[in-house]
Structure 1
């Protein structure tokens, strides 16, 4: 049997721009689970009735509110410990982290989802370790799901650890063809095609954003098309842009989608709130494989950003 090329290598060769591929999350729950447990969480056929009920309730919540959530599985620092959860909630320019520690075994992982995402009142039964400042880089190393993630993700994870960056080996969260791919919290950025060197540089913000622009999948706090405008403004303003609260309004336009981005004032008091507007249109699609183990190709949208306008306060209040 002929081995297929890695899907990530084909994406790079095709010149895919990954912007607009980050999921839109209002909050993220990270379950700290030993690597062998990851497969059990992914095996829906083996779920208990209680675990099935949790996912049914989560589907209902998303359908009712439209607010998506992220679910990540990361290997704990010390294997074999009790169930521990990191919960990130969208606030300000990114997400706020809160840790929860239980006395239950990791097999009770569904409790972590239920209590953080469905019934937060139950969190009173969890211990709350002190808040941990600084970035968390969640790198997909799930090679049993896709070889690209194991091949590219593990060297990136090791480089981050060696550099003293807090990094987590993380199970698949979508986007095999972007390996090495990572979720950068609390900033809420998703990255694509990271090399070990670039991963350390973006984690430490040691390179100008434009040097990493073609590796940015987007800011998970915004809808995908708004991520296109958000990246443009990040390149203009630098890494301090990530500290500003951003929310978006999307409306149909004759040639695409009009994105209006409402931006809070800088935290250091150096400026005022602002509103930006631009139209995002379709660029020629690519047709790429989504898995290193499947020859099937599918349509991959690409985007163009039209002229960006900064609205005056009166025009911003008048709506899109």
Structure 2
């Protein structure tokens, strides 16, 4: 076997596809999401960053060090209570979206109670001011000096972030860029209602191409160019994208996200507009079975319901955490909804 063939066999996303892995249940939940524009090429980490990118990476390193220290000393509840349950992503600048010399920064916050999308603040400001705003957002300092930079785009625009971060994982660029190009061409026909960006990695290498759908905070994986129109326009039933759905980060990973997908497939695209919450009612000691309740309300409040789902883990599928990393293997649990019932 030559080196090229060996590399192809070890591509984590290719292996996940060939093994038939069901990707649902792995969308990480955060209370806050912060996104900045950062010019390419993107380094793998701070050591490889230069100039403006290095400043942004250093702020991120400081924040994640603080978050980890609080977690180790006090646990996840304290992390959340201190506003540290946040993640930072970057997108490549797009001349059609942001004027020359300027950059966008997004701050998305999880609402309290049932919801359908994160609250999004969007700033458009001179590129030299981005670092100051990023520091304020990460460490929860006053952002009043940047209020004039808030845009009117936040609520009306849907953003699709496609991971193309090849310096972190080969699959992200190999599979991500063609999907990005297709979606980007569709965005040009959206009348300004859809923007598509190249993004840094989301930690789901083996699901490449991975797409973050904002402000809903839905994650899609293994999305090829052939799936782009269904995702962009939502004009055919979401069952066409069932196997591309990693999950909605508005509910807990694993069992609840599998149950949410089952309800989504029943209700169709109207489901994304419903305010929702999920509760784990029962989980077996073995961790192989759980009962989940999902309460939902239509936007006008006229339709209120509850789904009850039984979810099991029938087995695991072996795979790779990342490309060309034979030592980083994983046994991925598979979540299967064995029954789901609309009870109210």
1:137 and 1:49, CA in 2 relative to 1: closer, same or farther beyond 3 A?
closer
Is 1:294 matched up with 2:325?
yes
- Which of 263, 269, 282 pairs up with 1:233? 263
Is 1:26 matched up with 2:31?
yes
1:37 and 1:152, CA in 2 relative to 1: closer, same or farther beyond 3 A?
closer
**Structure 2 unaligned regions, length at least 5:** 188-193
> Are 1:31 and 1:112, in contact at CA under 8 Å, matched by a contact in 2?
no
Alignment of 1:163-312 (within 5 A): 163-164=186-187, 165-224=194-253, 225-254=255-284, 256-263=289-296, 265-271=297-303, 273-296=304-327, 297-312=329-344
Q: Measure how far apart 1:51 and its partner are.
A: 5.4
Q: Measure how far apart 1:190 and its partner are.
A: 0.5
1: distance between equivalents of 2:42 and 2:170? 19
1: distance between equivalents of 2:290 and 2:61? 37
Q: Measure how far apart 1:112 and its partner are.
A: 4.1
1:51 and 1:89, CA in 2 relative to 1: closer, same or farther beyond 3 A?
closer
Corresponding position of 1:64: 78
Comparing 113-122 with 169-178, which one deviates more in the overlay? Answer: 113-122
2: distance between equivalents of 1:63 and 1:37? 33
1:250 and 1:41, CA in 2 relative to 1: closer, same or farther beyond 3 A?
farther
Q: TM-score, normalised by structure 1?
A: 0.85
Corresponding position of 1:125: 146
Aligned residue for 1:36, secondary structure, equals coil
1: distance between equivalents of 2:324 and 2:143? 41
Q: TM-score, normalised by structure 2?
A: 0.80
Cα RMSD after superposing both structures: 2.7
Q: Measure how far apart 1:281 and its partner are.
A: 1.7
Deviations 1:167-222 (A, max 9, x none): 00001111111111110112221011111131232121022111110110000111
Q: Measure how far apart 1:97 and its partner are.
A: 2.2
Corresponding position of 2:183: 160
Deviations 1:264-295 (A, max 9, x none): x2114541x22222232212101101212212
1:159 and 1:50, CA in 2 relative to 1: closer, same or farther beyond 3 A?
closer
2: distance between equivalents of 1:141 and 1:216? 18
1:285 and 1:148, CA in 2 relative to 1: closer, same or farther beyond 3 A?
same
Deviations 1:3-43 (A, max 9, x none): 32221111111111110011112221111111235545586
**Structure 1 unaligned regions, length at least 5:** 313-320
> Are 2:319 and 2:332, in contact at CA under 8 Å, matched by a contact in 1?
yes
1: distance between equivalents of 2:142 and 2:340? 44
Deviations 1:283-317 (A, max 9, x none): 210110121221232211111213223345xxxxx
> Are 1:83 and 1:101, in contact at CA under 8 Å, matched by a contact in 2?
yes
Corresponding position of 1:77: 94
2: distance between equivalents of 1:42 and 1:267? 47
Aligned residue for 1:163, secondary structure, equals helix
Deviations 1:230-280 (A, max 9, x none): 1111111110101111112224433522222222x2114541x22222232
Aligned length: 307
Aligned residue for 2:20, secondary structure, equals coil
Q: Measure how far apart 1:94 and its partner are.
A: 1.3
